[in-house]
Amino acid sequence: MARTGILIETENNGVKDTSLGVLTAAAGQEIYALVLDTDPSAVKDKLAEYGADKIIGIKIGSGSPDLAAHALAAAIKEYDLTALLGTASTEGKDLFARLAALMDQPLVSDCVAVTLDDKIVKKSHFSGKTIANLKVNGSLFLCTIRPNVIEPIAAPANGEILEFTAGVEDPGLVKILEIKKGDGGKIDLTEAPVIVTGGRAIKAAENYKMLEECAAKIGAAVGASRAAVDAGYAPHSMQVGQTGKTVSPKLYIACGVSGAVQHFAGMKTSKVIVAINEDKDAPIFTKCDYGIVGDIFEVIPALTEKL
């Protein structure tokens, strides 16, 4: 049993569901949950329920990504951790890459499976066309896990809170000038358990409202295809696929998306894919699980009503 650190992501003083899956990935190890800039006592119950033996609160304060990496490195040394796992979110991928570079240790980003005892991970290569089994040979095992691929399983543990002061300074290389808040309350695409995506057939930016109404009923995030983004119907931050975001929700509903290879590159590891398209010969129907041939402006409102 090795001492394994898990970097916990929080939101409004609560643990993100994606982090619970990462705790489950380390089941059987002695788990140290690392919480950045959040009161550990606010998340103690949840983390203990999902297997955290110890909980370490780390104060960063500044939001500087390099400072966070230095603080994590200090915690790894202080508690003699042999592994650190996290979520492959935008922030998680960035922070782990900084940490791996800083400590000169190997890292595998965006894993879909982890075997900690053997130091073996599985991850996508070639936009999901192949899965690589990788052996990681370092004195520290670092990896981030693709959101939603590991179903969280409760495994009650002590969740003892440890006091920790990192005592590190920001190297001052990257200065944050401004943080522009998003619309607020929107679920992050890469972490959403369900995604409803609108393609070119959505025809206008205001028609995304129809998808948002559907998404709101099932706690889903709304995405867009490249064609819809390039036509100006949606911002790039909503784009799913190559040159956009890679997502892996439990349920992906593609509405009026033709199904280009580049779109599949960003969503093919979704558990269940549903397509709704007027064109019965659309390529999307050849590689999804369930299909409805129909006008999205009729089918989506009818679906929203039934949900």
Partner 1 sequence: MKICVCLKHVPDTAASIKLAGDTGFEDSEIKFVSNPYDEYGVEEAVSLVEKEGGEVVIVTVGKAGAVTTIRGAMAMGAHRAILVKTDSQFLDSSLTAQALKAAMEQDGLPDMIFTGKGSVDTESFQTQYRLAQSLGMPVVNEVNSLTVDNGKAVVEKEVGGGEKQVMEMSLPCVVGATKGLNEPRYPKFPDIMKAKKKKIQEIDLADLGVDASAGRVVIEKLETVPERSGAKMLQGSVDDQVTELVKILTEDEKVL
Residues 102-121 that bind partner 1 (CB under 8 A): 102, 104-110, 120
- Asked whether position 283 contacts partner 1 by CB under 8 A, the answer is no
Stretch that binds partner 1, among 21-29, 49-57, 157-165, 270-278 (CB under 8 A): 270-278
- Asked whether position 38 contacts partner 1 by CB under 8 A, the answer is no
Q: Give 243's strand partners.
A: none
Stretch that binds partner 1, among 23-31, 41-49, 124-132, 199-207 (CB under 8 A): 124-132
- Asked whether position 178 contacts partner 1 by CB under 8 A, the answer is yes
- Asked whether position 52 contacts partner 1 by CB under 8 A, the answer is no
- Judged by CB, which is closer to partner 1: 13, or 130? 130
- Asked whether position 279 contacts partner 1 by CB under 8 A, the answer is no
The secondary structure of residue 271, as a DSSP letter, is S
Helices 296-306 and 208-217 pack at an angle, to 10 degrees, of 20
Give the span between the Cα atoms of 191 and 275, in whole angstroms: 21
Give the span between the Cα atoms of 97 and 127, in whole angstroms: 20
Stretch that binds partner 1, among 23-31, 38-46, 156-164, 180-188 (CB under 8 A): 180-188
Give the span between the Cα atoms of 8 and 10, in whole angstroms: 6
- Judged by CB, which is closer to partner 1: 188, or 258? 188
Site string for partner 1, 130-169 (x = CB under 8 A): xxxxxxxxx-------------------------------
Nearest-approach distance from CB 251 to partner 1, in angstroms: 4
Helices 65-78 and 90-103 pack at an angle, to 10 degrees, of 60
Give the span between the Cα atoms of 41 and 155, in whole angstroms: 19
Q: Are strands 3-8 and 30-36 parallel, antiparallel or unpaired?
A: parallel
Give the span between the Cα atoms of 307 and 295, in whole angstroms: 18
Q: Which of 42, 97, 205, 231 binds partner 1 (CB under 8 A)?
A: 97
Cα 36 off chain centre by? 17
Copy the structure tokens of residue 2. 């090795």
- Asked whether position 10 contacts partner 1 by CB under 8 A, the answer is no
Nearest-approach distance from CB 193 to partner 1, in angstroms: 8
Nearest-approach distance from CB 20 to partner 1, in angstroms: 17
- Judged by CB, which is closer to partner 1: 200, or 250? 250
Query: How many residues bind partner 1, per CB under 8 A?
Result: 89
- Asked whether position 215 contacts partner 1 by CB under 8 A, the answer is no
Copy the structure tokens of residue 269. 């590891």
Cα distances (Å, whole numbers) of residue 231 to 182, 186, 225, 243:
22, 22, 10, 15
